Amino acid sequence: MIEDVVGKKVYGTWIDMLQKLVPEGRTHRLAVVIAGMLRYTEMVSYDKQDKNSKARNLAEFFEFSYEQSMEDDIEGILSLIECFLADANVSYKRVNAKGDGYSIAESAVYEFFSWENMPWKR
């Protein structure tokens, strides 16, 4: 779905980036990069929604996801990011030194939803 909105060239570049960055990358850095890609996708979907039904569907999906996030339901955006990472054929589930599991995809969701939070402006 993302590829249909941002285009094959942009999507292909992102997939290539993820394949190179994710295996050795640090989660706190990767999450911001992935959130940025998703934020770009959101903006393009809003820009194209009048002329493109897939973009309109994605724009509606983002709006619905924001509503769900207010209720602490992140499953929609999480599944979108997991599909994105699966397209890149990279593992997004990790285990820390203590043996606890965590997810790059889940970290990216929180970065996406907090994209415009700037605590220094409060």
Using alpha carbons, list the distances in angstroms from residue 58 to 7, 47, 61, 81, 98: 14, 11, 5, 13, 38
pLDDT tens for 25-41 read: 888 899 999 999 999 99
Q: What is the pTM of this model?
A: 0.89
Q: Which residue ranges of the chain lie beneath pLDDT 70?
A: 118-122
Residue 17: predicted pLDDT:
96
| Three-class secondary structure of residue 91 per DSSP | coil
- The phi-psi region of residue 91 (left if phi > 0; otherwise alpha if psi is between -120 and 50; otherwise beta) is beta
> Which pLDDT score, from 0 to 100, does residue 55 have?
94
Query: What's the pLDDT tens digit per position in 46-60?
Result: 999 999 999 999 999
Please provide the average confidence, as pLDDT, over all residues in the chain. 90
